[in-house]
Amino acid sequence: MNSFIVMAEIVEPPQLRHTQENMALAEMKVQFPGLRPDEPMVMMKVVGWGNLAQEMPTKFSAGDMVIVEGRLGMNTVERPEGFKEKRAEMTATKIYPVAGGMMMEASVSTPAPQQAAASSSVKATATATKTKKAVVEEPDFDDIPF
């Protein structure tokens, strides 16, 4: 089964239209970071059908962070230069808004003083826990490396 989940930022707002059979169809473009830090943002078209398509333009707009769940497909597009190009397209089954979310690489913000203090206390607790674990663990004398 083809299942795909991505957290992305909406770049182009959803556009609602209808097929000849009067089925609702909405399309929007989203972007998300590449796999490596030096890779550019990845752009992808997301398509919704039926009730989801009718809700997309009212609930989502450009700049919103969303988690999109659905199927990933590849479309072949004829380019004006005379060659064919393959593009990824996602058919959404569910879209979840991310409240107060920000793109991992696109924007950087400094935490509020209270958040910074809470963050440092959590890091200190995690470090203390790791230190305790290191003391409790026994050496591994197993000859098999896996």
CA–CA separation, 90 vs 32, rounded Å?
13
Give domain status of residue 106, yes or no: no
Give domain status of residue 131, yes or no: no
To the nearest whole number, what is the mean pLDDT of the chain? 77
* 66-98: pLDDT as tens digits: 999 999 999 888 888 888 888 889 999 999 999
In terms of residue numbers, what domain contains 89? 4-97
Which amino acid is located at 3 in the chain?
S
CATH code of 77's domain: 2.40.50.140
Domains in the chain: how many in total? 1
Give domain status of residue 141, yes or no: no
pLDDT computed for residue 65 by the predictor? 94
pTM for this prediction: 0.64
* 97-117: pLDDT as tens digits: 998 655 444 333 333 444 444
CA–CA separation, 115 vs 18, rounded Å?
46
CA–CA separation, 36 vs 44, rounded Å?
17
Give domain status of residue 38, yes or no: yes
